Amino acid sequence: MIFEALKPQVENIISNNNNSIDERLLAICKVLEEHIDYYNWVGFYFRNGDKEELLLGPYVGEPTDHTVIPFGKGICGQVAVSNENFVVPDVSAQDNYIACSITVKAEIVIPIFVNGKNIGQIDIDSNTPDPFTEADERFLEFVCSQVSNILE
């Protein structure tokens, strides 16, 4: 199972204190995008201080214009408010969706909690329709809990 093989790689990246937090987050994006064929854009968004908006952090994939996302807007902005995973099998069926690329068919966003507070999220776009399962959710929750360890 690819996820079980990737978990130790994520742990190694996280525990490498020689690299900055952003370097480690970028390394996580790279390892996920490289090894999971239906992960085509992988990035982090984080809350901008006390403002009700998200700022784009490290990512791999096509550059996006959406470097600032207000709370409530798009899939990412909804997760900032709901504190829940959001799995979108078909982005064209979503009213409150911010399109970054016409090739994207599906999206998954998992919140990151530090001391119980939703401080950001990992966002993954897929060019494959309906590719995400509960195994992706469990794996990405693991990734987010690892990330939360270095953001405390």
Interface positions with ligand SME (CB under 6 A): 41, 64, 66, 69, 74-77, 97-98, 100, 107, 123, 125
- Supply the minimum distance, in Å, between the C-beta of residue 73 and ligand SME: 7
Q: How far is the CB of 94 from ligand SME (least distance, A)?
A: 7
- Closest listed residue to residue 139, CA positions, set 31, 54, 55: 31
User: By C-beta, is 6 or 108 nearer to ligand SME?
Assistant: 108
Beta strands in 3-95 (DSSP E): 41-47, 53-60, 68-70, 86-88
Give least dist CB 103 to ligand SME, A.
11
Smaller CB distance to ligand SME: residue 32 or 75?
75
What's the half-sphere exposure (Cβ side, CA atoms, 13 Å) at 67?
5
Cβ neighbours, 10 Å, residue 79 = 25
